[in-house]
Chains A and B, each alone.
Chain A
């Protein structure tokens, strides 16, 4: 078994998913099984092999420095940005108070 319940709890907290004891009990062996299975990759000799960066030969295109050239990727649309917010007030998104 590659990961135990405590490890699952730790990952779940890192991923911000709260989990009940029952869920942890259920998930731990499932995840272990999957991770044991993917470990077969360790068998592959990859010395001198570069990790994949772009699946298709293609260059990163860059955008011109123009504001709001396309409304779909520009600003100035606060209503659209806030339209689905669970708590929007005075033009802000509201979240539980954060103490820094």
Chain B
């Protein structure tokens, strides 16, 4: 018999619903996996009692013969960016250490309503700022993956949803929530060989999600395959009157409408994504993806997204600008850390609290954001970046005239060793070069595992879709997934 922890979202849900096993058995199995995985440092807090309580509730509902939710009996990991009532929520920062929200984020509440339970709060890059999970106040997350060269170098799971990627790929949770501001779901999914989707901006409520960059932040699902991502996203998404940018649209039945048949679909290949010095392994995988798309019946067309090369620079103005303002609320007055040096006045308290409470990367971005918004620089930086953003969005609009989805690599490289890129913030930023444009345009996009590099490390392909067309993205993802036949998983060493 396969172990319960080998099962994904759909298999667990169907098994619990069909009575093959109980939700409690599932929760206990995953609680044990969580407890055994502390070496990965993927959780900031574990919540076995939450998972058990949700499981018992599901079992009781089933025993009573009442209808079960989409995620009945599925225990998940919750990125620590989501506020969870009574459970410490820190965004992996020192400044929020000990903070226990008196409220539940809309997305996590939706998940509980669908029958899911929480295994714990997942480590991440501090305030979701980072691409390697090395900016957490609670230490690095270590990827379950190791290079096949026999070396034991600790690798990054990617970031910022690094804890989420690590636990899903390590079979420690069947699925996890992620958030994506510039690639924070897709890049770690690619680096750990799992699937992850960021829906259209506004699909998932931002209410109760610690804000990084409001015009970019989107929650999404991370799971072992496309189907599981679709099921979980259905539960997370939905209109929320508490978020003024929430889309007032019904949530489609994505999972019921999945198809890996791409006949009649046009797949766009943006020529500007073939960046100079691109790793040949990545390029080869991309070509393989093109072949799979053709095999699925799609027509492949070359497209142009001319402003692509400016996306990253625009992103690194807009996101820090919004962050510098969003993070102003962490001031030691109403919650979280307070540093009060002797004889400190109010403003001294702010400066001391924020100096002690924020990590280096967070400080860097706050300073960049403060600078680009400051008097005399606003138009040259911020306004110009928002204009370039308009041009990037227009590039996509034009592309949709000739294609239905766009296929690109997810990341320019496989997982790298922890510490490898830490000294050069700019080199780290370049990790998001392929994911940022879709974020700037608010488009749905996902990463699916597609192959391994020479060291046996996973690589992903990215599918970008039209606004509101998560179905097209998921179907293209499924077409690739079913042809790639990706089945590699990390050898358990922890």
Contacts and interface: CB of A to CB of B under 8 A. Distances in A.
Contact of B333 (A13, A42, A83, A95): A95
B473 interface: no
B358 A17 contact: yes
A19 B99 CA distance: 25
Interface in A1-50: 3, 7-8, 11-19, 27, 30-31, 33-35, 37-44, 46, 49-50
A88 B426 CA distance: 42
Contact of B391 (A11, A49, A77): A49
Residues of B in contact with A, size category: 35 or more
Contacts of B215: 52, 55
Interface size class of A (residues with CB under 8 A): 35 or more
Interface SS, A side: loop
A80 to B, nearest CB: 4
Nearest to A48: B387
Contacts of A85: 333-335
B385 interface: yes
Contacts of B386: 51-52
B384 A41 contact: yes
Nearest to A16: B350
A38 B313 contact: yes
Interface string B462-493: 00000100000000000000000000000000
Contacts of A93: 333-334
Nearest to B239: A61
B324 interface: yes
B364 A31 contact: yes
B461 interface: no
Contact of A38 (B207, B332, B381): B381
Contact of A49 (B340, B374, B390): B390
Interface of A: 3, 7-8, 11-19, 27, 30-31, 33-35, 37-44, 46, 49-52, 54-58, 60-61, 63, 70, 72-73, 77, 80-81, 83-87, 93, 95-99
